[in-house]
Structure 1
Amino acid sequence: MKQIIYSIFFIFSSVCFAQNTSLFEQGNALYNEGDYDQAILKYEAILNNGEHSAALYYNMANAHYKLNHIAPSIYYYEKALQLAPNDKDIKNNAAFAKNMTIDAIDSVPEVGLSRYLKNLSNTFSFDTWAKISIAFVLLFVLVFLSYYFAYSTAKKRLSFVASMAFLIIACLSLSLAFHKSNLDKKDRPAIVFVQESQVKSEPNLRSSEAFILHEGTKVQILDTVNNWKKIKLSDGKTGWIVKEDIKAL
């Protein structure tokens, strides 16, 4: 019975993969012909099938950019960068798309130890840091066993120093893994998807206007109250925006 289920699942997966590949190629052909609207429909069909990739988001962003769709192009470039953060082509095109936005928001630079720790934590993903930690724990165990069974004083000293070094690195890697996890939990970006949105000082329409945001601006979501999202800009400003005006990444 299990073999039948596995076979059905394999056949279904193969059919879906072939279908998505065909849709992707059709979308690319339409894009090359300049039919960007139809290309987007093909790419969206792939997303509706549950398929996600940096290449798919990148092509969707390019098609929206050609149509001067500011918010969708930035949104999908950001989605592509989440999957391929070091891709130069995605970074370059995302920079062009951001030049179309109206809001000029400065970033508050991080300084000191917090900046160094954040940059170091973002070097790898949480899973990678965890794997590094496990690898050094195993090295610690192996080298410590070598120390335990060694007869020579020199070998014992060398093994002990090496095992302690591996243990310290393992602990540091584990700490960076948890710090990376905390950074990821706090990182809740969103893109403004309306032409103009009034950001309020409180989560209600009666409150005063804090500032105005325009299409394509990237914000961070801090909190949710009913139909409102508390957001933060890169310059540190905070306010409340109607949740329909933004789209979370």
Structure 2
Amino acid sequence: MKGLVYMLIVLLCFSKLEAQNNTLFQEGNTLYNEGKYAEAIDKYMAVLETGRHSSELYYNLGNAHYKLNNVAPSIYYFEKALLLKPEDDDIENNLSYANNMTIDAIDYVPEVGFSRLIKNVTNTFSFDNWAKMTVVLAFAYVILVLLYYFSYASAKKRIAFISSIVCLVSLCIALALAFNKYEIDKKDNPAIVFAQESQVKAEPNLRSEESFRLHEGTKVQVLDTVKNWKKIRLLDGKTGWISSEDIKILKEF
């Protein structure tokens, strides 16, 4: 009985919090439509501070910061919205507009050859989808093996045998791609530079030689962490160490 009462109290509190968040979100939208972008940001941030995360919330935050010409925050929130809702046209379009405000012009150096082909195939599906495909193929393989053993007609046995081999090969490929996708996602740790200008060092200390400089809004990949320094890589392959205070990790929610 006490457990049921506790559950009802939790549900009531959750419903009340959700109602408050919806009210704040709508108030933020109203302020945004009135051109009061800073006030709208305050409302959206109040929702965010309750632990609610959604692509719509991050998208609206990105739009409000874009209207105020806040380069890094607009890109940061558009990128977070895209993480929660990949391949959304509106988010991608607005992100491209925000990226046009950045100073750093970094040329992307694409992968070539067999590694590029494998990466493109791997990124066709998410890790979850590859895992689901693996389970389906494993189940199909078991069924085909059973059909092979319990079929009496030679033609059916031949078809079941060939199909099981094809299924087994497909299963191995899907499993390998699933693990590869897991490793790619694990290593993918993007961040946005928030400092107006940041020195990127050759080593993780202030006395080290400066390798290059980055400006707000630039997207980087975080490779390693040493105390209050992050090792980063740019799209053109350059690497260096930047102060942890100068960037914000995108996948931290």
For 1:42 and 1:158, locate their aligned partners in 2 and report how far apart those are by CA, in whole Å.
63
Deviation, structure 1 residue 48: 1.1
Identity percentage of aligned residues: 61
C-alpha spacing 1:8/1:120, structure 2 compared with 1 (3 Å): farther
* 1:121 aligned onto 2:122: yes
* 1:173 aligned onto 2:179: no
- 1:207 partner SS: coil
**Residue pairs, 1:105-184, within 5 angstroms:** 105-184=106-185
For 2:96 and 2:78, locate their aligned partners in 1 and report how far apart those are by CA, in whole Å.
9
For 1:136 and 1:103, locate their aligned partners in 2 and report how far apart those are by CA, in whole Å.
46
For 1:247 and 1:206, locate their aligned partners in 2 and report how far apart those are by CA, in whole Å.
23
> Which amino acid is 1:145 matched to?
L
Deviations 1:116-150 (A, max 9, x none): 21122222221121111101111111122111111
- 1:174 partner SS: helix
Deviation, structure 1 residue 11: 2.0
Q: Which runs of 5+ in 2 are unaligned?
A: none
TM-score normalised by L of structure 1: 0.96
Deviation, structure 1 residue 110: 0.8
Deviation, structure 1 residue 16: 2.1
Instruction: Provide the aligned C-alpha RMSD in A.
Output: 1.2
- 1:161 partner SS: helix
Match of 1:89 in 2: 90
Deviation, structure 1 residue 189: 0.7
For 1:140 and 1:12, locate their aligned partners in 2 and report how far apart those are by CA, in whole Å.
48
For 1:159 and 1:141, locate their aligned partners in 2 and report how far apart those are by CA, in whole Å.
11
- 2:106 partner SS: coil
Task: Select between 61-70 and 152-161 the one with higher mean Cα deviation.
Answer: 152-161
Match of 2:77 in 1: 76
For 1:119 and 1:12, locate their aligned partners in 2 and report how far apart those are by CA, in whole Å.
45
Deviations 1:26-72 (A, max 9, x none): 11111111111111111111111111111111111000000000000
For 1:142 and 1:3, locate their aligned partners in 2 and report how far apart those are by CA, in whole Å.
44
> Which amino acid is 1:177 matched to?
A
- 1:205 partner SS: coil
For 1:166 and 1:40, locate their aligned partners in 2 and report how far apart those are by CA, in whole Å.
52
> Which amino acid is 1:144 matched to?
V
Q: Which runs of 5+ in 1 are unaligned?
A: none
Deviation, structure 1 residue 6: 2.6
For 2:106 and 2:70, locate their aligned partners in 1 and report how far apart those are by CA, in whole Å.
20
Deviation, structure 1 residue 5: 3.0
Task: Select between 108-117 and 8-17 the one with higher mean Cα deviation.
Answer: 8-17
Match of 1:14 in 2: 15
Task: Select between 61-70 and 36-45 the one with higher mean Cα deviation.
Answer: 36-45
Task: Select between 3-12 and 81-90 the one with higher mean Cα deviation.
Answer: 3-12
For 1:50 and 1:97, locate their aligned partners in 2 and report how far apart those are by CA, in whole Å.
26
Match of 2:203 in 1: 202
- 1:31 partner SS: helix
> Which amino acid is 1:234 matched to?
L
Deviations 1:192-216 (A, max 9, x none): 1011011111111111111011010
Deviation, structure 1 residue 8: 2.4
Deviation, structure 1 residue 105: 0.4
Deviation, structure 1 residue 93: 0.6
- 1:166 partner SS: helix
> Which amino acid is 1:89 matched to?
D
For 2:210 and 2:71, locate their aligned partners in 1 and report how far apart those are by CA, in whole Å.
24
**Residue pairs, 1:47-86, within 5 angstroms:** 47-86=48-87
TM-score normalised by L of structure 2: 0.95
For 1:17 and 1:124, locate their aligned partners in 2 and report how far apart those are by CA, in whole Å.
33
Deviation, structure 1 residue 22: 1.6
For 2:180 and 2:164, locate their aligned partners in 1 and report how far apart those are by CA, in whole Å.
24
